[in-house]
Structure 1
Amino acid sequence: MRSRGAIRRRLRRDDLSEGPDYALVGVIRIPELRQSPGRAIGRRVIFAVVALFFTAVVVFLDRGGYRDVQGDQLSFLDSLYYSAVTLSTTGYGDITPVSPSARLMNLLIITPLRVLFLIVLIGTTLEVLTERSRQALKIQRWRNGLRNHTVVIGYGTKGRTAVDAMIGDGIKPADIVIVDSNPAVLEAAESDGLVTVRGDATKSDVLRLAGVAHAASIVVAANRDDTAVLATLTARELNSTAKIVASIRESENTHLMRQSGANSVVVSSETAGRLLGIATMTPSVVEVIEDLLTPDAGYAIAEREVDPTETGGSPAHTRDIVLGVVRAGVLHRVDDSAVEQIEVGDRLLYVRKGSSE
Structure 2
Amino acid sequence: MAQKENRGANANRSRAGSDSAPQSGFLGSPARRLLFAITGIVVLLGAGAAGYILIEEMTFLDALYMSVITISTVGYREVKPLSAEGQIFTMVLIVTGVGTGLYLLAVAAEVVIEGQLRDFLGISAMQRKIHQLEKHVIVCGFGRFGRVVTEELKRHDVPVVVIESNPALEKELSRLEVLHVNGSALEDEILEEAGIQSARAIVVATDSDADNVYITLSAREKNPGIAIHARGESETGLRRLKSAGANQVISAYQRGGMRIASMILRPAVVDFLELATPGHGDEIDLEEIEIEPGSHAVGKTIEAVERGTAKLRVVALKRGDDPISIIPDPGTIVKEGDHLVAIGDAESLKHLADILEE
The TM tier, using the shorter chain, reads: 0.5 to 0.7
Question: How far off its partner does 1:292 sit?
Answer: 3.2
Q: Residues 141 and 162 of structure 2 are in contact (CA less than 8 Å); yes or no, is this contact kept in structure 1?
A: yes
What CA deviation, in whole Å up to 9, does each residue of 1:3-39 have, x standing for no partner?
Answer: 9xxx9xx99x99x9xxxxxx9979xxxxxxxxxxxxx
Alignment of 1:93-112 (within 5 A): none
**1:250 match:** 234
Match status 1:327 vs 2:319: yes
SS at match of 1:309: coil
1:132-143 alignment to 2 at 5 Å? 132-135=116-119, 136-139=122-125, 141-143=128-130
Question: 2:331 and 2:152 mapped to 1: Cα distance?
Answer: 29
Q: Is the 8 A contact 2:135 2:200 kept in 1?
A: yes
Q: Is residue 157 from structure 1 mapped to residue 144 from structure 2 by the alignment?
A: yes
**2:208 is the counterpart of 1:216:** no
| Contact residue 217 and residue 243 of structure 1 kept, 8 A | yes
Residue 179 of structure 1 and its aligned partner are, at CA, apart by 0.9
Instruction: State the 1:160 CA deviation.
Output: 0.9
Q: Where do residues 255-270 of structure 1 align in structure 2 (5 Å cutoff)? A: 255-270=239-254
Q: 1:255, CA displacement in angstroms?
A: 4.2
- Indicate the residue corresponding to 1:146 in structure 2: 133
Q: Say yes or no: does 1:238 pair with 2:230.
A: no
Alignment of 1:191-210 (within 5 A): 191-210=175-194
Residue in 2 aligned with 1:52? none
**TM superposition shift of 1:161:** 0.9
- Give the corresponding residue for 1:311: 299
Distance (Å, rounded) in 2 between the aligned partners of 1:242 and 1:339: 34
How high is the TM-score relative to the length of structure 1?
0.56
Of the candidates 157, 181, 185, which is equivalent to residue 170 of structure 1? 157
Distance 1:199 1:339, change over 3 A: farther
Tell me the alpha carbon deviations over residues 276-295 of structure 1, each in whole angstroms, 9 at most, x when there is no partner.
11111343533433343352
| Structure 1 residues 164 and 347: alpha-carbon distance in aligned structure 2, compared to 1, 3 A threshold | same
Q: Deviations over 1:32-89 (max 9, x none)?
A: xxxxxxxxxxxxxxxxxxxxxxxxxxxxxxxxxxxxxxxxxxxxxxxxxxxxxxxxxx
Contact 1:278–1:286, Cα closer than 8 Å, also in 2: yes
Pick the aligned partner of 2:335 from 327, 343, 357: 343
Give the drift of 1:235.
Answer: 0.9
CA distance in 2, matches of 1:339, 1:197: 49
Change in Cα spacing, 1:246 to 1:300, as seen in structure 2 (3 Å) is farther
TM-score by length of 2: 0.56
SS in 2 for 1:178: strand
**Residue 213 (structure 2) aligns with:** 229
Could you tell me which of 105, 109, 112 is aligned with 1:129?
A: 112
Aligned partner of 1:179 in structure 2 is 163
Equivalent-residue separation in structure 2 for 1:263 and 1:300 (angstroms): 25
The CA deviation at 1:354 is 5.7
Equivalent residue letter for 1:332: I
Structure 1's 351 and 182: CA in aligned 2 closer, same or farther, altered over 3 A? Answer: farther
Q: RMSD between aligned alpha carbons?
A: 4.1
Q: Gaps spanning 5+ residues in structure 1: where?
A: 17-22, 27-124
Paired with 2:133 and 2:345, the residues of 1 have a C-alpha distance of 31
Query: Judging changes above 3 Å, is the alpha-carbon distance between structure 1 residues 267 and 183 closer, same or farther for their aligned structure 2 residues?
Result: same
- Say if 1:198 and 1:291 are closer, same or farther in 2 by CA, change over 3 A: farther
Contact kept, 8 Å, 2:315 with 2:328, in 1: the verdict is no
**Do residues 301 (structure 1) and 286 (structure 2) align?**
yes
* 3-state DSSP of counterpart to 1:137: coil
Aligned 1:46-65 pairs, distance under 5 A: none
User: Whole-Å Cα distance in 2 between the matches of residues 285 and 300 of structure 1?
Assistant: 15
If asked which structure has higher relative contact order (CA below 8 Å, sep 6+), I would say 1
Shift of 1:348: 0.9
**1:314–1:340 contact (8 Å) kept in structure 2:** yes
For the Cα contact (< 8 Å) 1:315–1:342, is it kept in 2?
no
Question: Residues 25, 155 of structure 1: CA spacing in aligned structure 2 closer, same or farther, 3 A cutoff?
Answer: farther
Q: What secondary structure does 1:167 align onto?
A: helix
- In the alignment, is residue 285 of structure 1 matched against residue 277 of structure 2? no
SS at match of 2:336: coil
Percent identity over paired residues: 23
* TM-aligned CA deviation for residue 165 of structure 1: 1.6
Closer/same/farther in 2, CA of residues 336 and 322 from structure 1, 3 Å limit: closer
Report the 3-state secondary structure (helix = DSSP H, G, I; strand = E; otherwise coil) of the residue aligned with 1:202.
coil
Distance in 2 of aligned mates of 1:24 and 1:240? 34
> Shift of the alpha carbon at 1:309?
3.1
- Any idea what SS the aligned residue of 1:271 has? helix
Asked if the contact 1:168–1:295 (Cα under 8 Å) also holds between the matched residues in 2, the reply is no
**Residue 231 of structure 1: how far off its partner (Å):** 0.9
Provide the residue aligned with 2:260 in structure 1.
276
Equivalent residue, structure 1, for 2:80: none
